[in-house]
Chains A and B, each alone.
Chain A
Amino acid sequence: MAYTYSKLAEVTVGAGGASTITFNNIPQNYTDLVLKLSTRTNTSDASSGQWTYVYFNGTTTNNSTKVLFGSGSTTGSLSGSGSTPYAAYVEPSNFTASTFGNAEIYIPNYVNTNNKSFSVDSVTENNSTGAYSNLSAGLWSNTTSINTVTLTPAAGTFVQYSTAYLYGIRVEL
């Protein structure tokens, strides 16, 4: 297979947990970025422990997202912005033990001088009728190249064994 899909970095959360996961100094020689997240928080969904926010270059401004979600029985849609850009679901603490969410965030043209759009598809799982899934479209209204991506749970911390992987996609023209 052509050399187009390269792992740039990975993080495995240790025993102490992590309040954020940050990828710094992202190289600028790829076309797109992909994040794969297998994460869980120490906070229940009753306290917003099911959401992960994504920020770029360390700023919480000029963010917005549109979200389509399912809860296992109902569907809905919401918007995020500023410091609460709802992006991906993360497994909340009250769901089945040892279970982690499964999410992918795709960021095309991250070094382009246009504003930065991204897409998300994510799921949680739970041995119950309730579990979350979502599709999100996001925008960072900034023309700067992305060199840092920060993932933050809406509440609490990422727990041990949570993992995050950053890949670069290079389009070979």
Chain B
Amino acid sequence: MSITKLTTNGIAGAKYDSVSADNYYMEPIATTLVGAGGTATITFSNIPNTYKHLQLRILSRSARTDAADGIALRFNSDSGSNYSWHYLRGDGTSPGAGGSATQTEILLSYDFAANTAGSNIFGIGIVDILDYANVYKYKTVRILAGNDRNGSGAVGLCSGLWMNTAATTTLTLTSYWGANNFLQNSRFSLYGIRG
């Protein structure tokens, strides 16, 4: 593939930017499979800046005493009020939307499974972080996540923002509703997508 055209509406000096004929692909960076004791925090650190995008794939069930749990995400261990998040969500009955500004973490989704869900039920999520190492941009996260509990559950398209232009080097995941462990066989896999 050789031609990528950036049209600038006839402006003098229009140019082609960042054209590449290289072929790369998606590859795994790291995976955490939660063991029998559970774990409260999942951390991916020392994330290389050699990719263009990151994708995080989640299969999760937590120890929260509820049927569902949220998962919170922080970048680079930043616990300041530098985050916002929003969601578009449906639970089989009615759609809803909401969001919150000036938060200390991103809520990836309300809809991962928790301890009172039917046995062996997990929630799933795919988290895309484009341009994660781009120092000209705050980091915007896109999440598709949900769980079905054989009669209840929900699915959502969610978003999150880290208001910092630093390259992403660390991602930290915890229960949104407090110190609830992720339970055995929960799995968190981080992939890099080259550009």
Q: Does A103 contact B (CB under 8 A)?
A: yes
A116-159 interface mask toward B, CB cutoff 8 Å, 1 = contact, 0 = none? 00000111111111110111000000000000000000000100
Q: Does A9 contact B (CB under 8 A)?
A: yes
> B195: which of A7, A27, A122 is its contact (CB, 8 Å)?
A7
In the complex, what residues of B have CB within 8 A of residue A122's CB? Answer: 142
Q: Which residues of chain B in 143-161 are interfacial with respect to chain A, using CB atoms and an 8 Å cutoff?
A: 144, 157-161
Number of interface residues of B (CB under 8 A): 62
Q: Closest Cβ of chain B: how far from A105's Cβ, in Å?
A: 12
Please choose the segment from A48-56, A79-87, A94-102, A106-114 that sits at the chain B interface, where 4 or more of its residues have CB less than 8 A away: A94-102
Whether B28 contacts A1 by the Cβ 8 Å rule is yes
Q: Does A57 contact B (CB under 8 A)?
A: no
Distance of A25 Cα from B16 Cα, bound (Å): 15
Distance of A128 Cα from B99 Cα, bound (Å): 8
The interface of chain A, by Cβ under 8 A from chain B, is 1, 3-14, 16-27, 36-38, 68-75, 91, 96, 98-104, 121-131, 133-135, 157, 160-161, 163, 165-168
The interface of chain B, by Cβ under 8 A from chain A, is 1-9, 11, 13-15, 17-28, 52-53, 84, 86-89, 95-102, 128-131, 134, 136-138, 140-142, 144, 157-161, 163, 165, 193-195
Nearest 10 Cβ contacts at the A-B interface: A70-B88, A70-B97, A123-B159, A125-B161, A9-B4, A19-B9, A8-B1, A6-B23, A102-B142, A12-B18
